[in-house]
Structure 1
Amino acid sequence: MDNQTFGQKAVGLSFNPSGDDAVGKAKQIFADAIDQLNDLRSTTTSGEVMRMASVAITEAQTAQMWAVKALTWKD
C-alpha cells in the first residue's frame, strides 16, 4: 500500500497481522474521518479551525486504537 492517504497512514491501515476484516473496516472508517479533517486543516485559514482539526485527528487515532482493541479482545 504505497499510495495510502494521510488517514490510512495515521491509523496504520496496512498493519493488521491477523487479517481481521472487522479491524480493516474500522480502521478505514477512522481513516476516512481523519482524511476529511486533514483536508479541512489544509484548506482553512483559521488557526482555531486548524487546531481543532488537529485535536480531532489525534482523538480519532486514539478512538481507532480502542476500537481495534475491543474488536480483537479475547476473554
Structure 2
Amino acid sequence: DVNNFVDQIITDRRQGQSESLCAGTDLLDLLLSAVDTQGQPFTDQEIKDQALTFVFAGHETTSNLMVWVIYELMTNPSVYRAC
C-alpha cells in the first residue's frame, strides 16, 4: 500500500539507510529539514501527507486538464479544426 511504502522511505531516509537519487536536494530532504513556525520539525505523518499531496495533486491536475481540453475541442469543432 502507498502509505506503508512512503512510511518506509521516510524511516529509511531519517535513519540514513537511503539517499536521494537526485544530484541535489530533493523534496523529501526539504521536508525532513523543515520546521514549523515554532521551530519544531515536521512529524513523519506531516511529511507523508505533504509528499502524497504533491504526488496525487499533480496527477489529478494533469488528468483533469486533459479531460477539459478534450471536452472543449469536441464541443467547439472550429477550434478543433484549427488545431
Q: TM-score range by the shorter chain?
A: 0.3 to 0.5
Query: Which one has a bigger Cα radius of gyration?
Result: 2
Taking structure 2 as the reference length, what is the TM-score of the superposition? 0.36
TM-score by length of 1: 0.39
| Higher-RCO chain (CA-CA 8 Å, sequence separation at least 6) | 1
